[in-house]
């Protein structure tokens, strides 16, 4: 009897503990160093674009790239209208064309988009 109530008590606490932490567990802090900070264009995304995309997506664009990715608005437009997120995660048609960026770079951009494209 005693043992039973102790066990079921613990079990209930476990359940509460689990469901209480669900909200944060569902949205893990993204890959910006894993510190859970907000991902921003100026703080996180711009450096990745500058290092991986700008040699073609400059202003004016080079090497037959169709648009520039130089400003915040350029990149937001490419996310909303040009499938940027799909292309940087596409193994058959990747951007950059030479091959996918590191998982952590892609995670940062994915998180940035999920968080609402903070400038």
Contact by Cβ (8 Å): 106, 30: no
Q: Is 5 in the site for ligand HEC (CB under 6 A)?
A: no
DSSP for 42-102? Answer: IIIIHHHHHHHTTTTSSSS--TT-SS---SHHHHHHHHHHS-HHHHHT-SSS-SSTT-PPP
Q: How many CA atoms lie within 13 A of 38 on its CB side?
A: 8
The CA distance from 56 to 62, in Å, is 4
Q: Is 56 in the site for ligand HEC (CB under 6 A)?
A: yes
Q: Is 57 in the site for ligand HEC (CB under 6 A)?
A: yes
> Residues 2, 23, 60, 64: which binds ligand HEC (CB under 6 A)?
64
Indicate the residue among 5 and 98 with the shorter CB distance to ligand HEC: 98
Binders of ligand HEC among 85-114, rule CB under 6 A? 87-88, 95-97, 101
Number of residues interacting with ligand HEC: please give it, by CB under 6 A.
20
Q: Shortest Cβ distance from residue 114 to ligand HEC (Å)?
A: 16
Contacting residues toward ligand HEC, per CB under 6 A:
52-53, 55-57, 63-66, 69, 78, 82-84, 87-88, 95-97, 101
């Amino acid at each position: 009897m005693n043992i039973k109530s102790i066990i079921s008590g613990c079990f209930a606490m476990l359940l509460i503990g689990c469901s209480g932490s669900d909200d944060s567990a569902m949205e893990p802090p993204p890959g910006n160093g894993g510190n859970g900070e907000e991902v921003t264009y100026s703080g996180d995304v711009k450096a990745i674009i500058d290092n991986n995309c700008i040699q073609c997506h400059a202003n004016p664009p080079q090497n037959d790239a169709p648009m520039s990715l130089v400003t915040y608005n350029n990149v937001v437009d490419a996310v909303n209208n040009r499938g940027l997120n799909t292309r940087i995660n596409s193994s058959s048609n990747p951007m950059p064309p030479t091959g996918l960026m590191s998982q952590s770079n892609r995670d940062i951009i994915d998180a940035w988009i999920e968080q609402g494209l903070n400038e």
